[in-house]
A and B are shown apart, each in its own frame.
Chain A
Amino acid sequence: MSELTLTVMRLGFLAVLWLFVIVAVQVIRSDLFGTRVTQRGSRRGGNASGAPAQGGRQAAAPPQQRQRRGAPTKLVVSEGTLTGTTVALAGQTITLGRAHDSTIVLDDDYASSRHARIYPDRDGQWIVEDLGSTNGTYLDRTRLTTPTPIPPGAPIRIGKTVIELRK
């Protein structure tokens, strides 16, 4: 065997061995446990897996809603078992309730399955609406009867849970 062949084989073996290690690490990477966040609703296709053509079109399209100045950007749970939870407000409806398909699943005996929802109207103003809950939804201290715009910083009380919209 020539020296050259042996050298090539020696380096080739190391390369193959390392390739195996790298492939194994890649398998781990695609195998991480945890939770998956799926984009849903009108912005479907904004996923990383979206086709390039689709992505291109979306980039060209104007944003659906102009962000109003001073509009709240996140929803914060300030009391109750979920205290500290924040949800970004991205122009979609947020449902609250004990039902497990709610955006915010309340672990609260005094909340109904589908308790309330918070959604932006055409101008981007956030509205809270009670969905016929048993114990009612309170904005500040008044029980909601109709969909009501949320003033900045006003607490919304659902059972033992209080949420607020913040910038």
Chain B
Amino acid sequence: MSVVTNTTTIGAIELPSRRNTELLLLAFAVVIPIFAYANVGLSIHGKLPPGMIAYGGGLAVLAGIAHLVVRRYAKYADPLLLPIGTLLNGLGCVLIWRLDQSERLQNLAKRQFGQFSESAPRQMMYTALAIALFAAVLLLLKDHRTLQRFTYISMAASLVLLILPVIPGLGADVFGAKIWISVAGFSIQPGEFAKIVIAIFFAGYLMVKRDALALASRRFMGLYLPRGRDLGPILMIWAMSLLVLVFENDLGTSLLFFGMFVIMLYVATERTSWIVIGLVMSVAGAAVVGATASHVKARVTAWLDPFACYTKSGACEQVGQSIMSFGSGGVLGTGWGQGNSDLIGFAANSDFIFSTVGEELGLAGVMAFLLLYGLIIERGVRTALAARDPFGKLFAIGLSGAFALQIFVVAGGVMGLIPLTGMTMPFLASGGSSVLANWALIGILIRISDTARRPAPAPAPSPDSEMTQVVRPS
């Protein structure tokens, strides 16, 4: 700047890479679960748990690897996503380990399956795999825009992933919902991965069609109604999510996909009418299915009044126990290892894991967890705002929208706000697919945010070098 007499200079902030901030937060995020682990051991067994060094060391090594990969391959990425993911994942492992210690659950498992196996070591293994997947995403996906090429392939892939659980022989019907497939002894939940794949399709599709969807519309009663042929895709997605609901008995997945599509449609077109249309359609669909499908009907009954059917149906008992555990937690909770959330029984460490948070950490803990999720979502939305390409914007919004919807659906379900849907709390719940898919999601968000926050390339030839046009008196 040669002119020194300027009063002010207005310039873009040169963003530092923030990797050291991330490292510090990451160290903090590793210490908190170790503290929680020690706390559980002290309150249940009266001594520090024997696996503490191994567990803490394992988490620290995984976090360190993830950090080094980010430092090397995504230097300018958002500093919060990785630490918050690590913290939630670490606390999730502690929650699962805590529920492993419950004699009630051990006896229940022995009665039902003949044996009891601890979930926490398995969860640690899945976490290690998930961090490997996270590193692979960052290593292989150099630029998120390459995914744009796979717009229609990913549509097909997500359809296949959604249909897989219904295929006889491959799908496994677990307690009413057909959302698992079993391959070589492992049960996989393809819906978790479909969530990411379908975001690629929505982002690529809407990027191309946004103008047609936004501009070619008629105004009717203050709403912009789209043309029939533009309404086609939304109807198709709606039908697809209803089919998932009907054939797989999975309210959560269908809500997630349809909601994600409506969110992305709204962001792409800036038309409020899509939200209205989407809400009307999802309410209509849910009402019809809720009145007909028996599995969904049971869940709605359990939601409306869990204590009326408490002794009659397992679903009611679970929801009732969950609500009671939130209630008995109070504001500050009972403390790690001192709650009775294991009374929920089956799925206490997966779908209902948030009830354990509610009972043992209380409202204060639940709020902190929800804020942590909120921060991940906020960083995702911020990434979308900062992204320079429309595909990246829509993709980041879609991923964070899906994440937000999933949290709403699960937390709302266990608290009795909405009918329970049988999805997993990201990072907390026991289950390999969920951990793997969510770390892949965080990896993609980190990749997009790295591209978005990377200092802009050298500006185009500056206007100084252009010739000034001369005014010629005519």
Contacts and interface: CB of A to CB of B under 8 A. Distances in A.
Interface in B69-101: 79-80, 83-84, 87
B353 interface: no
Interface stretch (B25-33, B166-174, B260-268): B25-33
B79 A31 contact: yes
B28 A23 contact: yes
Nearest to B29: A20
B201 to A, nearest CB: 29
A39 B385 CA distance: 28
A9 B336 contact: yes
B152 to A, nearest CB: 33
Interface stretch (B307-315, B360-368, B390-398): B360-368
A33 B386 contact: yes
Contact of A28 (B336, B372, B375, B463): B375
B36 A13 contact: yes
Contact of A18 (B28, B29, B43, B364): B364
B378 interface: yes
A69 interface: no
A100 B3 contact: no
Interface stretch (A48-56, A86-94, A122-130): A86-94
A110 B335 contact: no
A94 B462 CA distance: 20
A10 B335 contact: yes
Nearest to B386: A33
B469 A40 contact: no
A88 B6 CA distance: 12
A11 B4 CA distance: 55
Contact of A24 (B6, B13, B84, B469): B84
B328 interface: no
B180 to A, nearest CB: 32
Contact of B361 (A13, A33, A100, A159): A13
Contacts of A7: 335
Contacts of A100: 462-464
Interface string B460-474: 001110101111000
Given A14-B332, A23-B28, A40-B7, A135 B365 contact: no
Contacts of A16: 31-32, 35
Interface of A: 1, 5-7, 9-14, 16-18, 20-21, 23-25, 27-28, 31, 33-41, 43, 88, 90-95, 98-103, 107, 109-113, 119, 133-135, 159
23 contacts: A1-B46, A13-B32, A13-B35, A13-B336, A14-B332, A14-B364, A20-B29, A23-B28, A24-B25, A33-B15, A33-B382, A38-B8, A39-B8, A40-B6, A40-B9, A93-B5, A95-B3, A98-B463, A101-B2, A107-B463, A109-B468, A134-B468, A135-B470
Interface of B: 1-13, 15, 18, 21, 25, 28-29, 31-32, 35-36, 39, 42-43, 46, 79-80, 83-84, 87, 332-336, 338, 361-362, 364-365, 368, 371-372, 375, 378-379, 382, 385-386, 462-464, 466, 468-471
Given A27-B25, A39-B8, A113-B464, 18 more contacts: A9-B42, A14-B368, A16-B31, A21-B372, A31-B18, A31-B79, A33-B13, A36-B13, A37-B10, A98-B463, A98-B466, A100-B462, A100-B463, A100-B464, A103-B8, A109-B468, A135-B470, A159-B471
